[in-house]
Amino acid sequence: MPLTLKDGSPGLLAQGKFGEACKALPQYDLSGVEDSELLSALYRDYTFVASAYLLEPCDILYRKTGDYGLGRDVLPKNIAVPLVQVAEKIGAKPFMEYALSYALYNYRRIDKSKGLVWGNLELIRPFSGDPSELGFIISHVTMVSHSGELVKNTIRTLEASSKHNRAQFNEALSNVVMTYDKINREMDTMWARSLPADYLKFRTFIMGTKNQPMFPKGVLYEGVSDTPMFHRGESGANDSMVPMGDNLLQLTERMPSNPLTAVLKDFRTYRPHNHAEFLEYVEDKARQAKVREFAEQEPNSAAIYLAAVDQIRDFRNRHWSFTKEYIIKYTKHPLATVLSTMEEVGAKIDETQLTKENKTLVDTLTRRAEAQNRVLAREVALLRNEIKDQDKV
């Protein structure tokens, strides 16, 4: 299926023959499958087949002309019916997702005695067959390999805030900061593993059918429904690590009411159910435990809280750099919730009560937030002038 096969020869997608080849695929009845591992593998593979089938014409035209044209707007029943059967069993949408399809369920360890580290992971399903696609996906996996540590210390932070245990709170939240720092450092390696110039070789196939000109009428799932379906494309924004930080630090409740926030909320429905449930739990518990308020009551706790928010800022700044280079859809609406929170919390801290180390930390972080807020405002203004029809998404 990939554009380039392992032996270097062109695959069906490169030749424009994938859609025709799908006609030979039997319509399997998967209603009796209950094994969770098999269901996960089937879901991943059927979503790859579906996206390749629907977006093949777009990729062919884009490689020839730079335009996407129209995708196929009918998914044949031999793909649609089993895909929907499997999706319903695992509680997912019948379309490619970040966690269950493209990234987090799409690798294998080369040496099972070793961990989830670069060099010990290989890709199961690619679209392009290009090394940069492997680097793009596996970099997400190595970032998420730190999620266990993040979950553990998030729970400990919530418990400490609920019990007003200052020492545990500072320790647990400091560990959250250190874990996000590991994740951000891992993110830094992405472009050494995945060349920016290669991104467009596989980007077409991770696009969605919702709010996309290639699918003005959505997609009809033959044998499933007479009503067309619309789904968002695969996105790292569906990952749960940064939203967990948003919820723990009570940033989510301060997000502005605008189309961008609405899109982010819609992304929640593209996560595995247990991820979504845990994120909701963290948001509720943080509100009940008053995490931000408890942090602000003691200057050194507030400094650690500020450092945690700065890690969220750092992550989003990296992603913003990526977005500026590749993604052409922008918004006119407020984008700086994290930076505003940093400025607000920093202004409340009584620096006379800080340790020498935390005083230096607070000064550095607040100055950084103020500077980046100014830079962000300038960049958004420039992009508004360069990119027209920004809100037609």
Rounded Cα distance between 5 and 193, Å, is 19
Contacts of 270 (CB under 8 A, 6+ apart): 93, 97, 98, 232, 235, 238
Contacts of 259 (CB under 8 A, 6+ apart): 331, 333, 391, 393
According to DSSP, the β-strands at 220-221 and 121-123 are unpaired
Partners of 221 in the beta sheet?
75
Q: Whose CA is closest to 179, among 151, 138, 146? A: 146
Contacts of 25 (CB under 8 A, 6+ apart): 49, 78, 79
Q: Is 273 annotated as a binding residue?
A: no
Q: What single letter denotes the amino acid at residue 262?
A: A
User: Which tokens sit at 355?
Assistant: 């340790």
Q: Whose CA is closest to 95, among 148, 67, 55? A: 55
Are 317 and 372 in contact by the 8 Å Cβ rule? The answer is yes
Contacts of 352 (CB under 8 A, 6+ apart): none
Rounded Cα distance between 118 and 134, Å, is 11
Q: Which residues are annotated as a binding site for heme b?
A: 319
Q: Which residues are annotated as a binding site?
A: 319
